């Protein structure tokens, strides 16, 4: 579970108060808008970074590389022989260069593959194994598990899409900025937004990506950078609006 992101900056809140006085938009609404912008930036910096098709391809390539580092894939021609072998080592150079020992783990089902993958993950990353440490897996099972795993690329980003949608921003398209390959994973993701009124004109909003491994896909440093970038963009927008409104009022009074 990702740590809640809290937008709570006195300078930022003072600017929102000024915006409220000049432009007429309530601070509470501005906080929601800022929260949505923050969720969008966090999604961009969640691995695989970016939101374009290249980002999706990068994520898929990384998943494929990770799985190939923990499995030795055996085609149907050799599976029965490899699975029932009773001797120490076997090399078939003409058929994929498969190296297998009699003591290697043999996997013939997707659930077994999933368990093996999970057991070889730490800190959100898959550990690359040596040839004789990898599990031997049927080619058809590997392809099926790979396809299932590739579908998960974008789920952590989808948690931020849920958060953005929950922020009640006064925009026509709250999910603008999230590509289709992220949005279609929203049913598999989870996110929560909470808000609270504080003393004076202070408001507090907390954004929480509830995807279980979200912290592994967005480290604290990247998260802070994304939040600060969102605040910078929001401040810039408010400054432009304040200048525009003041210029308009001055023109009316002249």
Q: Per residue in 55-81, pLDDT tens? A: 888 889 988 999 999 998 888 877 877
**pLDDT value for 76:** 82
Instruction: Give the chain's mean pLDDT.
Output: 83
Average pLDDT rounded to a whole number, residues 23-45: 86
Confidence of residue 48 (pLDDT cuts 50, 70, 90): confident
- Determine the Cα–Cα distance for residues 110 and 138; give it in Å rounded to an integer: 10
Residues 6+ apart with CB under 8 A from 72: 98, 99, 100, 104, 131, 134, 135, 136, 137
Residue 166 has pLDDT above 90, yes or no: yes
Which of 109-118, 147-156, 203-212: highest mean pLDDT?
109-118
Residue 1 in this model has a pLDDT that exceeds 50: no
* Long-range contacts of the stretch 198-202 (C-beta < 8 A, 24+): 201/13, 201/16, 201/17, 201/20, 201/27, 202/8, 202/13
Q: How far apart are CA 92 and CA 189, in angstroms?
A: 43
pLDDT digits (tens, 9 = 90+) for 175-199: 998 999 999 999 999 999 988 776 6
Kindly list the domain boundaries of the chain, sorted by start residue: 5-48+155-248, 56-150
Global model pTM greater than 0.75: no
Distance CA 207, CA 191 (A): 8
- pLDDT at residue 56 in the model: 87
Q: Do the beta carbons of residue 23 and residue 110 sit within 8 Å?
A: no
- pLDDT, tens digit (0-9, with 9 covering 90-100), for 78-111: 787 777 776 555 555 555 566 777 788 899 899 9
- What is the reported pLDDT for 201? 52
């Amino acid at each position: 579970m990702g740590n809640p992101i809290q937008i709570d900056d006195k300078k930022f809140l003072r600017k929102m108060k000024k915006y409220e006085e000049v432009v007429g938009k309530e601070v509470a609404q501005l906080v929601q808008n800022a929260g949505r912008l923050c969720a969008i930036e966090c999604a961009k910096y969640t691995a695989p970074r970016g939101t374009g098709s290249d980002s999706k391809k990068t994520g898929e390539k990384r998943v494929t590389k990770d799985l190939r580092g923990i499995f030795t894939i055996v085609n149907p021609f050799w599976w029965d022989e490899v699975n029932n072998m009773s001797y120490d080592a076997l090399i078939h150079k003409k058929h994929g260069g498969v190296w297998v020992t009699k003591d290697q783990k043999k996997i013939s089902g997707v659930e077994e593959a999933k368990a093996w993958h999970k057991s070889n993950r730490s800190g959100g990353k898959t550990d690359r194994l040596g040839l004789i440490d990898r599990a031997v897996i049927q080619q058809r099972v590997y392809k099926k598990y790979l396809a299932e795993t590739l579908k998960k690329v974008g789920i952590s980003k989808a948690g931020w899409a849920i958060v953005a949608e929950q922020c009640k921003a006064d925009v026509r398209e709250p999910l603008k900025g999230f590509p289709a390959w992220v949005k279609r994973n929203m049913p598999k993701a989870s996110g929560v937004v909470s808000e609270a009124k504080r003393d004076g004109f202070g408001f507090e909003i907390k954004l929480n990506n509830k995807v279980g491994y979200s912290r592994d896909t967005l480290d604290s440093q990247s998260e802070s950078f994304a939040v600060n970038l969102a605040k910078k963009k929001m401040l810039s927008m408010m400054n432009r609006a304040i200048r525009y409104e003041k210029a308009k009022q001055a023109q009316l009074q002249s």
